Structure 1
Amino acid sequence: MGVLGKMEVEVDIKCSGDVFHQLWGTKPHHICSITPHKIQGCQVHEGDFGQPGSIVLWNYSLEGENCTAKVIVEAIEEENKLVRFKMIEGSILKEYKSFTTTLQVVDKAEITAVKWTVEFEKFDDYGPYPNKIMDFIIAITRDIEAHHLKD
């Protein structure tokens, strides 16, 4: 059995948190036009955008490498402003036995944060932690924020 892990990061943002929830939950294909140097494609393979149980294929670049991620949308919760994706195929599963990403908008007193949680199972004790993936997620969050602050 591998090692189970969980990493979280909260990124304070200056734009509306609803933008993030809506983008990732119902319009993820729009993210490609916001950050094309990181995410090049988003296609629904089964179901519909915005529906739990749908299967979505992402094409992205991580540290100069072209990668794919086929995910199942496990949850879209309007009341909690939460979206969860579970990886079912793709580049990340070469390094991890399982990988789930959750995005949640957290409204604080004067600011809003986007909380990202990755839960993973490493193949063994010596496998890598997903630090480069967390850096990638933070960079995408900043790109989306900058795009919406321009509008």
Structure 2
Amino acid sequence: MTLRGTIAKQVTIKSDGDVFLNIYRYRTHLISQMSPNLVKAIELQDSEWGAVGSIIVWHLVIDGTPKVAKEVIQAIDEEKKSVSFKVIEGDIIMEAYRTFMITIKVDTRNEENVVTWTFDYEKVNENIGDPDNLIELYLIVAKDVENYHLLQPN
């Protein structure tokens, strides 16, 4: 059994893909207002919103339990419309994984915008499962962000 893994899941959104990605890049702190049942708070710990090297602390609820993750923005690709985060601390990931990278990418196909979440990780041992429940949570939060955005006046 391998300790390294990658999982990716997609969700189609009706809201503008660029606006959606910019929320995760520049206005991350607002996600707790858009998905309050799952995201309790998001704090900028170092640098500035939307910059490579920024450190962001997420306070989430996973399976009814409060959890924390500290991430650093590793890469931003304007052309590919993607942002990559490396989890550096926190009980969400570090109890089970040696390394954990999260990438969000938005593709526009005709009139549709497809958000792809990709998790690249290394488990601490073979008894650790894949982070399926975590990626499902990210998909739910993405839909919450979309729904919030669609309700806003133009």
TM-score band, normalised by the shorter chain?
over 0.9
Sequence identity percentage: 31
**Counterpart for residue 50 of structure 1:** 50
Once the two structures are superposed, what CA deviation does each residue of 1:10-60 show, in whole Å capped at 9, x if it has no partner?
111111111221011111001111111111111111111111011111111
**Counterpart for residue 143 of structure 2:** 142
Report the alpha carbon displacement of residue 76 of structure 1 after superposing the two structures with TM: 2.0
Q: TM (normalized to structure 1)?
A: 0.95
Partner of 1:50: helix, strand, or coil? Answer: coil
User: What amino acid does structure 1 have at the position aligned with 2:136?
Assistant: D
Structure 1: distance between partners of 2:122 and 2:36:
29
**Counterpart for residue 127 of structure 1:** 128
Structure 1: distance between partners of 2:27 and 2:111:
27
Instruction: Provide the aligned length of Structure 1 versus Structure 2.
Output: 150
Shift >6 Å, 4+ stretches: none
> 1:1-150 counterparts in 2 under 5 A?
3-91=3-91, 92-150=93-151
Structure 2: distance between partners of 1:94 and 1:125:
13
Unaligned runs of 5+ in 1: none
